[in-house]
Structure formats: C-alpha cells, structure tokens
A and B are shown apart, each in its own frame.
Chain A
Amino acid sequence: MSVIEATAQISTATEPRLRWRSFLSHRSGLIGASMLIVAILAAVFAPWIAPYDPYAPVVGLTPDDIFQAPSPQHLLGTDDGGKDVLSSLIYGARVSLLVGFTAAAIAILIGALIGLVAGYQRGWFGSLLMRITDIFLVIPDLALMIVLVAILGPSLRTIIIVIGILGWTGTARLVRAQTLSVRERKYVMRAKAVGAGDMHVLRKHILPAVLPLMLANMVLVVSLAILDESSLAFLGLGDPTVISWGQMLNFAFDRGAISAGAWWALLSPGFAIVWVVLGTTLLGTALEDAVNPRLKRHHLESPGSDVARVGTVAPPPPVAAGLEEPILRVRDLAIEFDSDGGPLRAVDGVSFDLRRGETLGLVGESGCGKTTTVLGIMRLLPPGGRIVEGSVWFDGDDLVGLDGPTLRSFRWTRLSLVFQGAMNALNPVRSVGDQISEAIRLHAPSTSKQQAARRAGELLDRVGIPARRAREYPHTYSGGMRQRAMIALALACDPDVIVADEPTTALDVMIQAQILELLGGIARDFGMGIILVTHDLGVVAQVCDRVVVMYGGVVAEENDAATLYREPQHPYTQQLLQSFPDVAHPDRPLRGIPGSPPRLGAMPPGCRFAPRCPHAFDRCNAERPPEYEAAGGRASCFLLDPTEARP
C-alpha cells in the first residue's frame, strides 16, 4: 500500500465491477453514449429518415448534378455520382456500425478465450498462447488486413472476419492479466482447496471479475474496428456493393472533390466517423473508469496548499527553568481531508513535545491518525489533506507557517523520514548510493561528487551494508537492507529529528530487532530525536523513552514508557496492552479489543473510545473529555476527573 492509499482515505483494492453511480456521474460517458445512440437510431431508421435512397440507380445524370453545393434540396450537397450526401451518410451508419459491432464481437470472443486459458492454465499451453499473442501484437495489423482482404476479395463478410480475427490481442492481454490476479485471490484459492472444479471456479469467480472489464474493453474495440473498416474502404478495399463512410471518402477523394472544392463531400463522411469513434471512446473510457477507478491524487499537485490555517499562532510558553527546551513542540494540530461529503477531520488537536536524544513512540491501531500526524508535521500531506489548526514548533520556527523554499532547506538537514515498508521508498532506477549523495549535495552544494559518494558509503557501512553496494540498485537489496539503506539516507544530512513511520512492518522478527537496535543506537550516538510510529507495543517497549497513544485522531494518553506499561490510565491503553503478548507475564491471556476504530465520517460525539469502552457512562457519550494529569503523564478520560464518583 502506498502512502497516498494509506492516508488519503481512498481505496483502490476493490473488485472490478461496474459502478453505475460512478458511471452516471461521468458527464463525458453520458455524452459518448448519446452520440452513439444517435448513430444507432440513424442506422436503424435510415429508410424513413433519409430524404433519398442512395441505392436507387441514378437516371438522367447531368454534369450539373455532380458535386452540388449544399442547398435546401440537398442539405449536405451531392457527391461525385450526383447522389445526396446526407442520405448516403445516414445509410453509411448501417455499414460502419455493423462492421464495428460484429468484428468487435469476434475479436472479444477470441481474445477472451485465449486470455482466460492463458491466465488460468499456467502450464506450457498457457504460456504458448501468450507468446502467440505477443507475436501477433508485433505484426502491423493494417498491412496484414490489406493483404488478406486483397487476397480474399473485399466482401463485407470478409472485411468483418479479417478485422475480427486480427483485433483480439489487446483483449487477450487484458483478460489474462485480470484472470491471473483473480485466481491468486484467497476466496478462489479456498474454493479450489475444497475441491471446486475448474469450470465452477471459472464461472463463479473468474468470469464475474473479468466481465465488467471486458464490457469497457468491448466499446473500445468497437471504435477500433470502425476505424479499421474506414481505413480499408478509403484505401479502396471496401465492399463495392455497400455504402460506407470510408467508401464515400474514397470515391470523393479519388474523383476530384478537392480540386472541385467540394469540401462537403469529404467533410461529411469524415466527421461522421469522428462522431461515432469519439462517442464510443468517451463511453469506453468512462466505463473503464467506473469499473476500475484510478487513484486521482499524486504527490506533486499544487504545492503549498497543504495549510489552511487562519492567522499566526503564538509559540508555546518556555518549559520550566533548568529543563532543556524540546526540539519539536506540536500544538493543537488538526488535519482535514477532502472527501465527496465535505472535509473529514483525520487529526483533531494533537499536542506533544520531543527532546533531543529522546525516542518517542506514537502508537495506536491503524486508521487512528498516526501517519497523518507525522506527515502533517513534515508538511508532506498527500493532496487533499491540509493543516487547518495548530502549529509545529521546531527549534523556535513554526513549520506550519514556512514558505516553500525555507521549508525545502529545513527538510532532511533538520528533519528526515524513514517510512512504511520502504519497498517503494527508494527510486528503482537510481543506485542507492546515488540517492544518498543527492541529498548530501543538495543541502551542501560545495561537496564534491567523490566526497558525497564516500560519505554515502560510510553511512551505508554505519547501518551494516558494505560500502561497495552503494553502486547497486534497490531491487538487489533484501527488504531489511532496503530499510537500513533508508535509515542511512535519513542520516545523510545529520538531522536533529528522524521520523520513522512503521519502519519494521513487513519485516521478519529477526530483521525487526536489528532495525530497532540500529535506531536506538543512532538516537544514542548522534543525539537525535526520533519519533517512532507503530502499532506494535512490543517495539515501543524495546526502544522508546516516552509514548503517545492516539485514538480516533486525538491523543488518548501520554507518559514515559515505563510508567505507561506499569500504570496505563486510559481504558484504551489498558486494552491495547492486553492485546499484546507480555514477555514478563507469558501466561496472561491475550484479549483483542472488540469492535473497530471509528471511521472518519462517523466520529462519536463525545469520547471517541466510548462505544468500545467497558467503563463508558453517560457523560462519555455526550462530551469530549479534556486532558487530566495522572501518574505523571496525561490522559483524556472522564474516569480521571476528580469530581466524578469512581464507578
């Protein structure tokens, strides 16, 4: 899962199916459908709409009848044979659509069959089919169509069959890819494991997932077939006994329409083709989008719009004399995301401090706003997300108020990031060392290439990767090595604070321990502050000095790590601790927390944990609890209110 998918509340990993609501909201799709319907109506009702019969023999033709300009008798003028262009145009829709739909049906049938077999049967036969598809993909199809039609003779049936049997490659590839992905899904595996036959799996599981995509693909194949037919007809390979738009263009063009200035005889059939192809293309892309919605966001959209805070904010009062001033002070941070139903608040009033050399754990279940909080602090929110309230004081500067260039100079030299999984966090086409040197030379331009490369090697060495591997690309590294390389990258410019977002997820336990040890060692050796975002309390116990527990976008509890584990104050913290194995008490039963964290659109009005809390009472459902000091830390729970009678 990419960072955008993880934070921006967009899900793309759903089954392909036709979402009618989504399709109907596509204006372009509706326009395309109407364009196509107009053409179909013209084709069906041609004898009733067309003012003349273009198939009737012309009698008594005089030179004046040829290439007549548009007039009330001939709305689109006449052609090289003295025939009414409008009537031919209306009848021509029949041929274009007939060829388009029947040829597409043949192409889809062959393509789907080959794609299904190649995707489902993964033995030699399947791969042979795919190789054949690849070969056909390379053969220039219009050239082959010309040869085939020239040899077999240009009858309408031949044209349809030739276009149909040469148009299947795209469909085959699409269906194969979809079949492959569906057959790896858990429910299909399960169905096969309990003995479901191949036909059953194909009919019940594969086809329902493949059909919607094929529908969208079908519309695009129709437009291709119509284009192919018109090209063949224009090149003189149309069926001479029927009128098609390509044929009309061929005759008009070959018989001097340009020198006669008869633009109507050329433009009318040409734009008729454009009309139908544009209609089917618009419809097809809208269907594709409704079946397979794409991610609509990326990281480089409208930079600078991630802050929508009104006015400036005063810095927090200094800490008590004699204590070290924290390097990072987050105050009342609130972050919203755009959604179809208006802005959703993902983080609501988060505050905490971080000192130099301190490791702070930010914990909670997935979806509680941890990642969003740290991306907000770093001003790296994905598009659609913005800081609406609060401030982030970094060594006296409010990061929320910084402009682009100042922020860029802040990045990596003061504040760097190691993020989730790191599988895709390194650019696959640049060497690891190169990506580290880039950061060094960006922030210290006087560094020579050799110096930067040497330093990159040293940094890799520091995280346990041989310096010579700096020249290699990320795909040659194992998952754990990539994560360590990412840590080396984060250290490149000696930052004051490193944010590590789930640095050990997706790694096995041994590697996890190595990475955590590495991070702990770095905090000690370099005196850096580290924010460790994780849902794993075991990880926190191992390396963190302080812990901030988040729930539903707010801080539930904060305390130093030892006290938090010993005396959890908030019922959420208590339950979270019970749901993790405790090495000190291996016989204690593990208990998950019933229910799930609240969704962004449906936050409880009072305490966010109230619906899942065993101790909740009336006030919890009505009011948001303030923070109470307890056990040397703070927690937001009415149970800690001294005026409440303890239940």
Chain B
Amino acid sequence: MSQRGGYLLRKVGWALVTLAVVITLNFLLFRILPGDPATAGVRDPRLNQAAIEDLRARFGLDKPVILNLEGGNPFDTQFTAYLAALARGDLGTSFAYRDRDVSELLGEALVNTLWLILPAEFFAIVFGVALGLFAAWRRGRTADVASVTFSLFMWALPIFFLGIILLIAGVTWFDLPVAGRLTIGAEYASLADLAWDVGRHLLLPTLTLGLALLGEYMLIMRSSVLEIFGEDYILTARAKGLSTYRIIRHHALRNAMLPMVTLIALTLGFTVAGAIQVEAVFSWPGLGSLTVNAVSDRDYPVLQGAFLLLAVSVIVANLAAEVVYGWLDPRVVED
C-alpha cells in the first residue's frame, strides 16, 4: 500500500532528523567543556603524551569548530572530523580503561543492559496491560482502587530507592547476591550452573525495573481502556449480543493497545532513566553503570559515546513503535 509506505517514509525521515539533532547536540555538548577536550584530559595523570597527541589529531583541535571561514575547504572542521570518525564507528579511546575503544566498551555494556531491560519490559507490559484492563473493567471497585493506589505508590518511589528496598529484602531473606552479574571467582561445572548464577544476579534488578514500569503502564492502560469502554462502538457490540469477554477481546483490547504502543514508546526515556538507576544500585555492568562511572572518572569519550548510544537506542525503539502502530491502526494514512 503506497499510503502506508508514505507513512513509514515520513516516520523514518523524522527519526533521521532527530538523529541528526542528537548527533549535533552530542558534539556541541562536549565543546562547552572548560578548555578543549584534550587539555581537560591532561589534568588526568593517567594520560600520557601519546594519548594526548592522539586526541588532538582525532578531534582536529587545530581546526575551526563548525565552519571554516578562513579560506580553503569550508568543511575542514572539527565537526566534520567528528562526523567522519562517527561514520567509521570510531568513538575514541577511553581515558579510564586505557587502550580500550569506547565502541567496544559500549557494545559489551549494551548487551548487559538489554539483558536487564528486555525481561523487565516484557514483565511490565504483560502485567501492566492485564492489571490496567482489569482495573478499568472493575472501575471504582476494590480491585480498581487497590491497583491505582499500588501504581501511584510505585510512581512516587524513586527507582533507585525501590532497588535498595528490594536489595535489603533479597539479601536478608532470600540470600540473593548483592551486586554484579556473576559471582566473582566462581567456577561453573555446567552451562546450567552459569545460567542459574546469572539468573540469581538478574532477578532483583529486573524485578526493580519491571515493577517501576508496571505502575506506569498500568495507569496508561487503565485510562486508555476506560475511554474505549465509553465509545459508541462498544454499545454496538453489546447490542449485537456479544458477551463482555468477547467485547473486550475483539472490540476493546486492540483499540486500547493503540495508545499503549505510542505511550510505551514515549516512556522509553523513563525506561533508560530506570535502567541507569537500577544498574547503579546493583552494580550491573551495563550502559548506566558505564555512564555513572564515566562521570566520576571524568572519562569524557565514554560519557559522550554512552549518551549517543542511549539516545540512538531510544530513537530506534521509538521508530519501531511507530511502525507497529502503523501496522495496528488502519487510520494512520490519514494524518
């Protein structure tokens, strides 16, 4: 369908524009640092002269920042050098972990973060949708009031604090590990042992993030369903003789899921914020921990790369949600 193709093209176009803004922002942010990136690093005793030279060359610090107005190639600037490096996938070298490429560090951390986020999102979406639907159907009854109270409380709990509470509970009563991804120095007899150890480490962080997202999704789903249940076509469905179950299944669920898809995409920033906090509490070696450590180490190349990767992930996930939306809702061609 060409109209739907147009919709997709428009969405991809906007994702690219957003991407361009984020890349530019990422470049400019690290130019407002006091001094230039290389001398800011010089104060760090871990940097040797070779590394500084490398930095100067890579950033092209002798060149103008954005536009070369002093003759010669007007695009021979720091910004184009940055873009060229980015295009090669070169995000520089970490200050703190010497000799390690930032892109390599980010790759490892991203995998760990996905291990955390994906199960948490799955848990939160399944239970958030179910609970929101149930609460809307039982509007004003005990079940509804209880779920709304629970969600409000989850919303008011800072995610890192929820993590600390679960950590105290897990360590005290369930003998779960405090931090990290694996037990340090452990030997594994089999793959199952390894999986079991990772699972035990993953349980609390995932549960923390999952619960925090659950409250959010439940409230969104509830208000979405309430609106749909008041629509005239639900009355038509009742008049046709459909049972409540069939009305919900065939006439309400899909319609209510539509705003959910968009809103889940819009709360992806919230998911990232949650992941950063959860990783900080549980020392989970993902993008969040990498970011926080880069801040305390003044490891700007890593900080810059991590922010870019986080922003790009959200843009991509957002685009994916738009595509799903376009596939679910026949009306998208109109806007």
Q: Which residues of B contact A407 (CB under 8 A)?
A: 241
**Which candidate, A132-140, A191-199, A628-636, is the interface stretch facing chain B?**
A132-140
Chain A residue numbers with a CB within 8 Å of B233 are: 424-428
Q: How far is the CB of A162 from chain B (nearest CB, A)?
A: 12
Give the interface SS of chain A, mostly helix, strand, loop or mixed.
helix
A147, A274, A411: which contacts B29 (Cβ < 8 A)? A147
- Quick check: B229 and A300 within 8 Å, CB to CB? yes
Determine whether B42 belongs to the interface, using a CB cutoff of 8 Å to chain A: no
Q: Which residue of chain A has its CB nearest to the CB of B172?
A: A261
Known contacts A137-B266, A300-B137, A429-B328; is-contact A146 B226 (Cβ 8 Å): no
User: Contact at B230–A135, with CB atoms within 8 Å?
Assistant: no
Distance A455 CA – B81 CA, assembled complex (angstroms): 66
Most interface-central of B32, B240, B247, B258 (chain A CB within 10 A): B240
What's the interface size class on B, roughly?
35 or more
A475 touching B334, Cβ below 8 Å? yes
Tell which of B136, B235, B328 has the most Cβ of chain A within 10 Å. Answer: B235
B204 CB, nearest partner CB in chain A, Å:
12
Instruction: Indicate if the CB atoms of B240 and A428 lie closer than 8 Å.
Output: no
B39 interface residue per 8 A CB criterion: no
Tell me whether B234 is interfacial, beta carbon within 8 Å: yes
Contacts of B165 in A (CB 8 A): 267, 270
Q: How far is the CA of A86 from the CA of B14 in the complex (A)?
A: 50
A152 to B240, CA, bound (A): 63
Task: Give the contacting residue for A281; candidates B155, B243, B291, B315; CB below 8 A.
Answer: B155
In the assembled complex, the Cα of A507 lies from the Cα of B25 at a distance in Å of: 52
Is A237 an interface residue, CB under 8 A from the partner? yes
Residues of B within 8 A of A416 (CB): 239-240
The smallest beta-carbon distance between A385 and chain B, in angstroms, is 13
Measured between beta carbons, the chain A residues less than 8 angstroms from B277 are 142, 231, 234-235
B-side interface mostly: helix
Q: Do B231 and A424 touch across chains, with their CB atoms under 8 A apart?
A: yes
Whether the Cβ atoms of A408 and B330 lie closer than 8 Å is no
Q: Are A428 and B331 in contact (CB under 8 A)?
A: yes
Is there a chain A Cβ closer than 8 Å to B250's Cβ? yes
Report if A540 contacts B (CB, 8 A): no
Query: Which residues on the B side are within 8 Å of A235 (C-beta)?
Result: 160, 276-277, 280, 292, 295
How far apart sit A410 and B238, CA to CA, in the bound complex (Å)? 12
Given A140-B272, A411-B241: A274 and B230 interface contact (C-beta under 8 Å): no
- Which of chain B's residues have a CB closer than 8 A to the CB of A408? 241-243
Stretch with Cβ within 8 A of A (4 or more), from B54-62, B67-75, B186-194, B303-311: B303-311
A430 vs chain B, min Cβ distance (A): 8
Question: Which residues of the other chain, A, contact B25 by a CB distance below 8 angstroms?
Answer: 139
Q: Are B158 and A438 in contact (CB under 8 A)?
A: no
Q: A133-176: contact bitstring with B at CB < 8 Å (1 yes, 0 no)?
A: 01101111111101110111000000000000000000000000
The distance in angstroms between the C-alpha atoms of A15 and B228, with both chains bound, is: 23
Instruction: Name the contact of A249 in the complex, choosing from B136, B161, B250 (C-beta under 8 A).
Output: B161
Q: Answer yes or no: A378 CB below 8 A from chain B CBs.
A: yes
Residues on A with C-beta less than 8 A from B18 are 134-135, 138
Contacts A234-B277, A424-B233, A426-B236 hold; do A146 and B292 have CB atoms under 8 A apart?
A: yes
Encode A210-235 as 1/0 by CB contact (under 8 A) with B.
Answer: 00000000000001000100110011
Chain B residues with CB below 8 A from A134, complex form = 14, 18
How far apart are the CA atoms of A285 and B148 in the complex, in Å?
A: 12
Are B280 and A258 in touch, CB under 8 angstroms? no
Verify B160–A231 contact, CB threshold 8 A. Answer: yes
Given contacts A137-B266, A138-B315, A438-B250, whether A258 and B178 have CB atoms under 8 Å apart is: yes
Complex: how many Å from CA A425 to CA B233? 4
Residues on A with beta carbons closer than 8 Å to the beta carbon of B196: none
Q: CB distance A299 to B314 under 8 Å?
A: no
CA distance A146 to B178 in the complex (A): 25
The answer to whether the Cβ of B86 comes within 8 Å of any Cβ in the partner chain is no
Task: Give Cα distance in the complex from A148 to B304, angstroms.
Answer: 11
A380, B239: Cβ atoms closer than 8 Å? yes
By a CB distance below 8 angstroms, the chain A residues around B292 are 146, 235-236
> Is A419's beta carbon under 8 Å from chain B?
yes
A473 to B331, CA, bound (A): 8
CA A340 – CA B14 in complex, angstroms?
A: 49
B226 near A298 with CB under 8 A, answer yes
The reply to whether B152 and A135 form a contact with Cβ atoms under 8 Å apart is no
Complex contact A258–B235 (CB within 8 A): no
A253 contacts the other chain (CB 8 A)? yes
Q: Does B10 count as interface, using CB distance less than 8 angstroms?
A: no
Q: B276 touches which one: A135, A143, A297, A420 (CB < 8 A)? A: A143
Q: Counting CB contacts under 8 A, is A412 at the interface?
A: yes
Give the residue of B33, B239, B303 whose beta carbon is less than 8 angstroms from that of A412: B239
Q: Are A274 and B241 in contact (CB under 8 A)?
A: no
**Complex Cα gap A172–B202 (Å):** 38
Q: Do A300 and B234 contact each other (CB < 8 Å), given the known contacts A231-B160, A258-B168, A410-B241? A: yes
Given the complex of chains A and B, what is the CA–CA distance between A417 and B236 in angstroms? Answer: 8
- Among A131, A150, A246, A409, the residue within 8 A (CB) of B295 is A150
Q: A251 on the interface (CB 8 Å rule)?
A: no
Contact B152 A278 (CB under 8 A): yes
Assess whether A2 is in contact with B160, with CB atoms less than 8 Å apart.
no
* In contact, A378 and B330 (Cβ under 8 angstroms): no
Judged by a CB distance under 8 angstroms, whether B78 is at the interface is no
> When each residue 301-335 of chain B gets 1 if its CB lies under 8 Å from chain A and 0 otherwise, what string results?
00110110011001100100000000011110010
Whether A442 pairs with B240 at a CB distance below 8 angstroms is: yes
Tell me if B276 and A236 are in contact (CB < 8 A). Answer: no
Q: Is B17 an interface residue, CB under 8 A from the partner?
A: yes
Contact yes or no, B291 A146, CB < 8 A: yes
Interface string of A265-308 (1 = CB under 8 A from B): 01100100110011001100100000000111111110100000
Q: Does A439 interact with chain B (Cβ within 8 Å)?
A: yes
A615 to B315: give the CA distance in the assembly, Å.
Answer: 73
B268 CB within 8 Å of chain A: yes
Q: How far, in angstroms, from A327 to B216 measured CA to CA in the complex?
A: 52
Cα A283 to Cα B173 in complex, Å, equals: 36
Residues of A within 8 A of B303 (CB): 147, 150
Task: Say yes or no: B296 contacts A236, CB within 8 Å.
Answer: yes
The answer to whether A270 and B139 touch across the interface, beta carbons within 8 angstroms, is no
Contact present for A147 and B307 (CB under 8 Å): yes
Knowing A274-B157, A408-B241 touch, does A140 contact B268 (C-beta < 8 A)? yes
Q: Beta-carbon contacts of B1-36 to A below 8 Å, as 1s and 0s? A: 000000000000010011001100100011011000
- B17: which A residues are within 8 A, CB to CB? 131, 135
Assembled-state Cα–Cα distance A295/B234 (Å): 15
Within 8 Å of chain B (Cβ to Cβ): is A469? Answer: no
A270 and B230 form a contact (CB under 8 A): no
Residues of chain A with a CB closer than 8 A to B236's CB: 417, 419, 425-427, 489
Smallest CB separation, A580 vs chain B (Å): 28
What's the minimum C-beta distance from B149 to chain A, rounded to whole angstroms? 9
Closest to B268 in A: A140
Interchain nearest-CB distance for B216 vs A (Å)? 12
A419-B232 contact in complex given A282-B152, A428-B255, C-beta closer than 8 Å: yes
B254 contact set on A, CB distance < 8 A: 429
A230 with B248: CB separation less than 8 A: no
Q: Which single residue of chain B is at the shortest CB-CB distance from A226?
A: B158
Q: Which residues of A contact B (CB under 8 A)?
A: 2-4, 131, 134-135, 137-144, 146-148, 150-152, 223, 227, 230-231, 234-237, 246, 249, 253, 258, 263, 266-267, 270, 273-274, 277-278, 281-282, 285, 294-301, 303, 378, 380, 407-413, 416-417, 419-420, 423-431, 438-439, 442-443, 473, 475, 489
Please list 20 pairs of residues, one from A and one from B, whose beta carbons are closer than 8 Å in the complex, sorted by A's number. A2-B232, A135-B21, A138-B314, A140-B314, A143-B306, A143-B310, A144-B307, A146-B276, A147-B304, A148-B29, A231-B160, A270-B165, A274-B153, A281-B155, A281-B156, A296-B139, A300-B248, A411-B238, A438-B250, A475-B331
In addition to A235-B277, A411-B240, A428-B233, 6 A-B residue pairs with Cβ atoms within 8 Å of each other are: A135-B17, A138-B315, A140-B314, A223-B156, A303-B244, A380-B238
Q: Which 8 A-B pairs have the closest CB atoms?
A: A298-B229, A411-B241, A142-B273, A278-B156, A270-B161, A140-B272, A277-B156, A140-B269
